[in-house]
Amino acid sequence: GESVGLHLPTLSVQEGDNSIINCAYSNSASDYFIWYKQESGKGPQFIIDIRSNMDKRQGQRVTVLLNKTVKHLSLQIAATQPGDSAVYFCAENMWGYSTLTFGKGTMLLVSP
Amino acid sequence: EPEVTQTPSHQVTQMGQEVILRCVPISNHLYFYWYRQILGQKVEFLVSFYNNEISEKSEIFDDQFSVERPDGSNFTLKIRSTKLEDSAMYFCASKTDNEKLFFGSGTQLSVL
């Protein structure tokens, strides 16, 4: 029978590499997007957000890119560190609604 | 930095029993949420609460679930008669009137 698995996409990188985590969203009416980081046993932690009137936003060591044409969001982490190892979720929100809808998550593993 | 706090961190209960999960949102926040995450899966929206009433709820949030803000600081989620499939990590979250959502560390509910 079908197994209920922990089949998170996984990205493995070396310390110091740049990481790119991708997310496809489905709702073309979504106009606000957030990346969250979730470490084991903890709640999601805000990393960076972007509105649909922008296509790029930079934070400290992180950059979010938004391509509305193909409904694609990416998170770039520069000079990845072992402390960046976590599951990363994108989330979307539609104007007028307060509810965030989360994507499936990507596990980032950083080797020293 | 202010944070959302949740108690207990772990809750074990027998099927059919009632459980109450407790949260103290960030003090100046106006919108309160419960999300859950089944092991290895994405974070799912349950319910949002604003101005002392439910503003949105998902199809997961059936008659077995209820929320309450009994005083000016606590926000609770009650599951009336727990089922095995209610086993999950339950996250409380809160925000002001912008979109940035802050999550607590979660309560791991195990229904036996």
What residues of B are in contact with residue A94 (Cβ under 8 Å)?
A: none
Name the pLDDT band for B105 (thresholds 50, 70, 90): very high
- What's the rounded mean pLDDT across residues B47-51? 94
Quick check: B39 and A8 CB within 8 A?
Answer: no
What is the secondary structure of B39-76 as a DSSP string? TTS--EEEEEEETTEEEEE-TT--TTEEEE--SSS-EE
What is the secondary structure of A7-53 as a DSSP string? ---EEEEETT--EEEEEE---TTEEEEEEEEE-TTS--EEEEEEETT
Q: State how many domains chain B has.
A: 1
List the one residue out of A7, A17, A45 whose CA is nearest residue A110.
Answer: A17
For position A96, what pLDDT does the model report?
65
For position A7, what pLDDT does the model report?
63
For position A2, what pLDDT does the model report?
37
Quick check: A44 and B103 CB within 8 A?
Answer: yes
**CATH number of the domain that residue B97 is part of:** 2.60.40.10
- What's the rounded mean pLDDT across residues A64-92? 95
Nearest neighbour of B42 by CB, restricted to A34, A42, A104: A104
- What's the rounded mean pLDDT across residues B66-86? 94
Q: What is the DSSP letter of A71?
A: T
Place of tokens 């979109």: B99
Name the pLDDT band for A65 (thresholds 50, 70, 90): very high
Percent of chain B with pLDDT over 90: 84
Q: Which CATH code fits A10-111?
A: 2.60.40.10
User: Residue B13: which domain range?
Assistant: 5-111
